[in-house]
Amino acid sequence: MPTFEGRQSAAGLRFAIVVARFNDFVTGRLLSGAREALAAASVDADALDILWVPGAFEVASAAHHVAATRQPAAVICLGCVIRGGTPHFEYICQAAAQGVTSAALSTGVPMAFGILTTDSVEQAVERAGPGPSNKGYEAAMAAVEMATLRVALEARS
């Protein structure tokens, strides 16, 4: 029975990162974490497109566009939505999650979901610290695994 798995090295593959500017004191750190993970996976800095968008709501449409036009091996989606006192939080989170899922399925390009949805600034900052527990780092590692899984599957088709 054939078994397929992704790899930890993605040398030679191109990636895109879509990052929301809203709460950039957090998303900038998620971006640093994602870049660190891609470097650890031997992805060349020149093989990386970085797209800044206004907020988490806009991440999915930019992810869809970059996937369709530049055909990266995977897209890493980064953002930070912090709960306020209104239902706005739920709408943005739901739109972001469903939008990224739909963009990945419709383009066939794997997308990693590194959009934090937290109850407080403290929870967001905790998830954007240095090292592998940074959620941007984790999302980039998921993107590497999914991209290389796809390469492994295509090599056998």
List, as one string, the DSSP characters of 66-134.
HHHHH--SEEEEEEEEE--SSTHHHHHHHHHHHHHHHHHHHH---EEEEEEEESSHHHHHHTTSSSTTS
Q: How many positions of this chain bind ligand INI (CB under 6 A)? A: 15
Interacting positions 82-121 with ligand INI (CB under 6 A): 82, 84, 88, 92
**Active-site residue, from 88, 120, 129, 130:** 88
Question: Site map for ligand INI, 50-89, x if CB under 6 A?
Answer: ----xxxxx--------------------xxxx-x---x-
The one among 16, 17, 18, 23 contacting ligand INI by CB under 6 A: 23
Q: Find the helix or strand (DSSP H, E) in which 64 lies.
A: helix 56-70
User: Taking CB positions, which residue lies at the least distance from ligand INI?
Assistant: 55
Are the C-beta atoms of 136 and 31 separated by less than 8 Å?
A: yes
Where do contacts with ligand INI occur on this chain (CB under 6 A)?
20, 22-23, 54-58, 79-82, 84, 88, 92
